[in-house]
């Protein structure tokens, strides 16, 4: 669909300026670094069952509440921090999702630097054909199922195959911008 500037975009991106900005500058572009990937993993988990727009509009609140998603800092959170988070109106106050975010940080704090990045990116599939419509974009793939399984095996919580696929899309492991989308060529460059 054509946006206000005339450029064709994925249809989901045109409903609000927030989505247009996210779509055009972030979604589908490669993300590396353990803290950056931990943030995306947490936000995708919080999004489960909600609109991504809800998460996007609270992103700065999440960053403030969770110490910019620095794994070492969040791993040091205690029960008083969990209670503080449950009262924080700047985030989604879901007890299970908050508990998973804190538990995941504690697990990841014991990993070697770059280990989360390497694990996630090891599941990037070979680039495929560009989807022509939203109907061509899957919700789950064999790779997202394997990523979910490996993360769960390592002790990471709240990361099912659908959440794992959303993470793969958001972080550029796959390029699900539609074939005619203005962002297709600038997102997730093909790997050698």
Active site residues: 22, 44, 52
Of the candidates 169, 176, 192, the residue with the CA atom closest to the CA atom of residue 128: 176
DSSP letters spanning 90-151? TS---HHHHHHHHHHHHHHHTSPTTHHHHHHHTTPPPP-PPPSSGGGS-S--HHHHHHHHHH
- Sign of the torsion formed by the C-alpha atoms of 82, 83, 84 and 90: positive
* Calpha distance 136→29 (Å, rounded): 20
* Calpha distance 144→125 (Å, rounded): 9
Cβ-count burial 146-160 (b if 16+ within 10 Å, e if not): ebbebbeebebbbbb
Give CA 50 to chain center in angstroms: 14
* Calpha distance 128→121 (Å, rounded): 16
Q: How many residues does the chain have?
A: 192
């Amino acid at each position: 669909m054509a946006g206000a500037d005339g450029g064709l975009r994925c249809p989901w991106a045109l409903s609000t300026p927030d989505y247009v900005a996210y779509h055009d500058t972030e979604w589908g572009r490669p993300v590396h670094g353990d803290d950056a990937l931990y943030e995306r993993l947490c936000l995708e988990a919080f999004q489960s069952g909600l609109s991504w727009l809800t998460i996007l509009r609270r992103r700065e609140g999440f960053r403030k509440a969770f110490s910019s998603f620095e794994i070492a800092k969040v791993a040091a959170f205690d029960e008083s921090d969990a209670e503080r988070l449950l009262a924080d109106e700047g985030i989604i106050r879901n007890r299970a999702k908050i508990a998973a975010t804190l538990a995941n940080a504690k697990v990841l704090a014991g990993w070697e630097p770059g280990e989360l990045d390497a694990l996630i990116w090891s599941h990037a599939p070979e680039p495929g054909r560009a989807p022509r419509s939203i109907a061509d974009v899957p919700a789950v793939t064999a790779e997202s199922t394997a990523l979910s399984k490996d993360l769960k095996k390592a002790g990471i919580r709240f990361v099912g195959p659908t959440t794992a696929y959303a993470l793969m899309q958001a972080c550029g492991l796959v390029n699900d911008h539609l074939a005619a989308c203005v962002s297709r060529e600038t997102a997730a460059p093909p790997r050698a």
